[in-house]
Chains A and B, each alone.
Chain A
Amino acid sequence: MSTIEVKGLVKRYKELIALDDFSLSVEAGEVFGLLGPNGSGKTTAINCILQLLTYDRGEIRLFGETMSPTRYDLKRRIGIVPQNVAVFPQLSVEENIGYFCSLYVDSAVERRGLVDQAIDFVGLEEFRRFRPRKLSGGLLRRLNIACGIAHRPELIFFDEPTVAVDPQSRNAILEGIQRLSASGSTIVYTSHYMEEVQQLCSRIMIMDHGRAHATGTTAELTSLVGLDDRVEIELPADPEFADKGLEIARVLPHITQASLNGNTLRVSCARASRALAEVLAALDDAQITYGKVYSEPPTLNDVFLEITGKELRD
């Protein structure tokens, strides 16, 4: 049974189609990454799933049951960490977490324990009596997370939780999400930081213009778009050797693309390990010396740009 099952979701803002026949399936225990440029429909999709926004068509099932605005029993099993920090400036860290936890948990005794655990989880123990205005950006983000997870939800939506935080806080947040996942929570994670998504998520959906363009693991997405590995070889500064090296590389069988950037030879190939050996052997045969050699597989960023295009968005 899928934790989230969305089928054919359509959401229009007058003429603009925000979600265009959007479908999604997230399995229990998964960390699911939702990637897309600004305005691609990620947050709209989440808000529709949570019944905060109306939608024109489609079916949404959570935990195997049809979701509706009054399914408070289902809502109690969900946590949300919104994009913007959503806490009360008038309440302390402890009070904020306690308040939001009270929206889900009735028992005061149980809640007290959950609040302590949430504070401990995000490492805000020494700030528990602080008001939000006295917290740094990173601490605020951690408070934002604590407010969303204190009631121990089975399904948690993280909507760009690491925006504008320092590397230490970011690292702490990512570790926390991994711990939540390890404890069995299903997580939907949206971000613009590709390396985060690649690090955290077991499956990723790339969406744009309200549509799901591709879904799968990083490897599946890479193979889906047919991106090759990249190899970069530093050649002698003499242009004659560089040009000769380019000519050699172009005729090798596993090389799909070759180019020069100054005296650096760039080649694309299906499998870097095999192609690299061939290129280096050919250069040796031609008595062309070389310096540093780099080899890297295609990144999620490459996949993302390949799917969504390189033109600037808002």
Chain B
Amino acid sequence: MRTAFVYTVKILVRDRAVLLWAVAFPLILSSMFYAVFSNLDQIYTLGRMPVLVVQDDNYAGAPQFATLIDQLGVDRSSDPLLEPTFVPTEAQARDTMADQDFLGFIQVTSTGKPTYVMDPGRVDGSADVMDPTRQSVILTLLDRYSQDAAYVADLAKTDPSKLADPALLAALSGHTDFTQPISATTNPVSDTVRYFYAALAFSCIMMMSFGLSAVSSWKADASPVGARRSLGGQSWTRSLAPTLAAAWLLSFICVLIGFCYIRFAFGISFGGKEWACVAVLALSTLVSTLVGALIGAINAPTGVKSGLTVLITCVLSAFAGLYGPPSQKLGDWVAVHLPGLSVINPVRQVYEAFYNLYYYDSYSRFTEKVIILAITAVVGFVVCVAVMRRTRYRSL
């Protein structure tokens, strides 16, 4: 069996076209995803908000507000909220806002109250989904400043002694954080990882072409070599096991290269559980090899079987969310309402294994997926051997 394994590895490795495609496919797919989806998580961050500030006489007459702008835009260098650009007049602010990319402009009125004029183009019709939130943050900020300024002014008139109270001053300066970001999971929620997990799951199952070609080469009706092999003096279990082991090894190496590329070249997180991911890759490529082998065992032209593997992988990947939000929603809906369909979908199971590793501290859900994949692999092998064992030909 070792000999058959070694020779099958040689046969597959020396088939350069198949091997190059198998290696390149995960790399190309993940590169495409990186190009399209790498900024997905950044879309939902506020970032540093570009605003114009009218630096006229009114602004000069409100030194406390100027200090606030400085603190928000300059002094908090580690994570500045604003990116202020100063202009001398309101007219210039309007012109600049029209010509350049600003959220709006801030102007201090003659009464010392800051007002904010939003760029109409960056409110409802903005291409950036976060613009309304940014506008809201700036408005809230200015409102809060106005309320505090009015409160302090009122206090100065009615009870100036309270202004010396450290507790009051602390309360006034203490509401810098209106909300506290917390995470329900160990790793931050990320829309990007879903795509890469789906891409990796797709690549894993796409490797069924190795299993397909390995078993097709045993079919007597596929080639003279297949006919000769079929006449060998070994049982189908002994014949197919080393062949499929070789096909699996190459599939695994190919997706492992893809995984390393995604993890280390693109920095996509797998929740720090890379070794568990490698186990998923090993198991998922075993499943794909055996499912491919099962398809290869069917009595049909090789072209039809190749087309079938591509079709199956593409359809199953739709339920793993490979094709964007509608596909993700469909996959999630099926997982919730028709869990049986998800269980028999290896692409979904591989995707969920990665997903569970990333989001869950416990390995229980991950283990569940691993068990399902292992059962799928065993069923695939047993059925494949049974089909091949029973295969006899009406004609050659």
- Chain A residues at the B interface, C-beta cutoff of 8 Å: 13, 47, 50-54, 69-70, 72-73, 75-78, 80, 82-88, 90-91, 95, 98-100, 102-104, 108, 111, 147-148, 151
Q: Is B356 an interface residue (CB 8 A)?
A: no
Known: A51-B392, A53-B394, A70-B389. A75 touches B3 (CB 8 A): no
Q: Please give the distance in Å from B213's CB to the nearest CB on chain A.
A: 12
Q: Please give the distance in Å from B132's CB to the nearest CB on chain A.
A: 61
Q: Is B179 an interface residue (CB 8 A)?
A: no
Bound Cα distance A264, B233 (Å): 59
Give chain B residues whose Cβ lies under 8 Å from the Cβ of A91: 7, 10-11, 14
- Chain B residues at the A interface, C-beta cutoff of 8 Å: 2-4, 7, 10-11, 14-15, 220, 223-225, 227-235, 239, 389, 392-396
8 closest Cβ pairs, A-B complex: A103-B232, A76-B233, A86-B224, A90-B14, A84-B224, A86-B228, A75-B233, A102-B3
Q: Please give the distance in Å from B277's CB to the nearest CB on chain A.
A: 32
Q: Please give the distance in Å from A19's CB to the nearest CB on chain B.
A: 12
Contact between A103 and B393, CB atoms less than 8 A apart = no
Q: Please give the distance in Å from B364's CB to the nearest CB on chain A.
A: 43
Contact between A90 and B11, CB atoms less than 8 A apart = yes
Bound Cα distance A148, B232 (Å): 10
Bound Cα distance A280, B153 (Å): 152
Contact between A52 and B4, CB atoms less than 8 A apart = no
Give chain B residues whose Cβ lies under 8 Å from the Cβ of A53: 392-396
Contact between A69 and B233, CB atoms less than 8 A apart = no
Contact between A72 and B235, CB atoms less than 8 A apart = yes
Looking across the interface, which residue of chain B has its beta carbon closest to that of A81? Answer: B228
Looking across the interface, which residue of chain A has its beta carbon closest to that of B233? Answer: A76
Chain A CB within 10 Å, residue with most, of B10, B14, B228, B230: B228
Q: Please give the distance in Å from A115's CB to the nearest CB on chain B.
A: 11
Tell which of B10, B227, B389, B395 touches A90, judged by Cβ atoms closer than 8 Å.
B10
Looking across the interface, which residue of chain B has its beta carbon closest to that of A103? Answer: B232
Looking across the interface, which residue of chain B has its beta carbon closest to that of A14? Answer: B394
Contact between A111 and B394, CB atoms less than 8 A apart = no
Contact between B7 and A99, CB atoms less than 8 A apart = yes
Chain B CB within 10 Å, residue with most, of A86, A100, A103, A111: A103
Known: A70-B235, A88-B11, A91-B11. A98 touches B3 (CB 8 A): yes
**How many residue pairs bridge A and B at CB < 8 Å?**
88
Give chain A residues whose Cβ lies under 8 Å from the Cβ of B239: 103
Give chain A residues whose Cβ lies under 8 Å from the Cβ of B225: 86-88
Chain B CB within 10 Å, residue with most, of A72, A85, A148: A72
Interchain Cβ contacts under 8 Å between A and B, 29 examples: A13-B394, A50-B231, A52-B220, A52-B227, A52-B231, A52-B396, A72-B233, A72-B235, A73-B233, A77-B233, A78-B231, A82-B227, A82-B228, A84-B224, A85-B224, A86-B225, A86-B227, A90-B11, A99-B4, A99-B7, A100-B228, A102-B3, A102-B4, A102-B7, A103-B4, A103-B234, A104-B233, A108-B2, A111-B3
Known: A52-B396, A54-B393, A90-B14. A80 touches B231 (CB 8 A): yes
Known: A102-B4, A103-B234. A80 touches B396 (CB 8 A): no
Give chain A residues whose Cβ lies under 8 Å from the Cβ of B15: 90
Looking across the interface, which residue of chain A has its beta carbon closest to that of B390? Answer: A69
Bound Cα distance A52, B230 (Å): 8
Looking across the interface, which residue of chain A has its beta carbon closest to that of B235? Answer: A72
Known: A98-B3, A102-B4. A13 touches B395 (CB 8 A): yes
Chain B CB within 10 Å, residue with most, of A52, A76, A82, A148: A52
Q: Please give the distance in Å from A173's CB to the nearest CB on chain B.
A: 18
Contact between B10 and A82, CB atoms less than 8 A apart = no
Give chain B residues whose Cβ lies under 8 Å from the Cβ of A72: 233-235
Give chain A residues whose Cβ lies under 8 Å from the Cβ of B14: 90-91
Q: Please give the distance in Å from B297's CB to the nearest CB on chain A.
A: 15
Bound Cα distance A108, B395 (Å): 35
Give chain B residues whose Cβ lies under 8 Å from the Cβ of A84: 224
If A72-B235, A103-B229, A111-B3 are given as contacts, then 7 extra A-B residue pairs at C-beta distance below 8 Å, sorted by A number, are A52-B227, A53-B396, A69-B392, A82-B224, A82-B227, A82-B228, A102-B4
Chain A CB within 10 Å, residue with most, of B220, B239, B392: B392
Known: A54-B394, A72-B234. A99 touches B3 (CB 8 A): yes
Contact between B232 and A108, CB atoms less than 8 A apart = no
Q: Please give the distance in Å from B208's CB to the nearest CB on chain A.
A: 21
Q: Please give the distance in Å from B223's CB to the nearest CB on chain A.
A: 7
Tell which of A52, A78, A80 touches B393, judged by Cβ atoms closer than 8 Å.
A52
Tell which of A75, A80, A85, A98 touches B7, judged by Cβ atoms closer than 8 Å.
A98
Q: Please give the distance in Å from B375's CB to the nearest CB on chain A.
A: 27
Give chain B residues whose Cβ lies under 8 Å from the Cβ of A50: 231
Give chain B residues whose Cβ lies under 8 Å from the Cβ of A75: 231-233
Contact between A95 and B224, CB atoms less than 8 A apart = no
Bound Cα distance A210, B364 (Å): 64
Give chain B residues whose Cβ lies under 8 Å from the Cβ of A47: 396
Give chain A residues whose Cβ lies under 8 Å from the Cβ of B230: 52
Give chain A residues whose Cβ lies under 8 Å from the Cβ of B395: 13, 53
Contact between B10 and A95, CB atoms less than 8 A apart = yes
Bound Cα distance A85, B225 (Å): 8
Q: Please give the distance in Å from B299's CB to the nearest CB on chain A.
A: 12
Give chain B residues whose Cβ lies under 8 Å from the Cβ of A104: 232-234
Chain B CB within 10 Å, residue with most, of A53, A85, A98: A53
Bound Cα distance A54, B221 (Å): 13
Give chain A residues whose Cβ lies under 8 Å from the Cβ of B231: 50, 52, 75, 78, 80
Bound Cα distance A47, B11 (Å): 26
Looking across the interface, which residue of chain B has its beta carbon closest to that of A50? Answer: B231
Bound Cα distance A148, B229 (Å): 11
Q: Please give the distance in Å from B386's CB to the nearest CB on chain A.
A: 12
Give chain A residues whose Cβ lies under 8 Å from the Cβ of B394: 13, 53-54
Bound Cα distance A75, B389 (Å): 15
Give chain B residues whose Cβ lies under 8 Å from the Cβ of A80: 228, 231
Chain B CB within 10 Å, residue with most, of A78, A82, A88: A88
Contact between B392 and A95, CB atoms less than 8 A apart = no
Q: Please give the distance in Å from B388's CB to the nearest CB on chain A.
A: 11
Q: Please give the distance in Å from B210's CB to the nearest CB on chain A.
A: 14
Looking across the interface, which residue of chain A has its beta carbon closest to that of B14? Answer: A90
Bound Cα distance A77, B232 (Å): 10
Q: Please give the distance in Å from A264's CB to the nearest CB on chain B.
A: 47
Q: Please give the distance in Å from B12's CB to the nearest CB on chain A.
A: 8
Q: Please give the distance in Å from B62's CB to the nearest CB on chain A.
A: 81
Q: Please give the distance in Å from A221's CB to the nearest CB on chain B.
A: 30
Q: Please give the distance in Å from B161's CB to the nearest CB on chain A.
A: 94
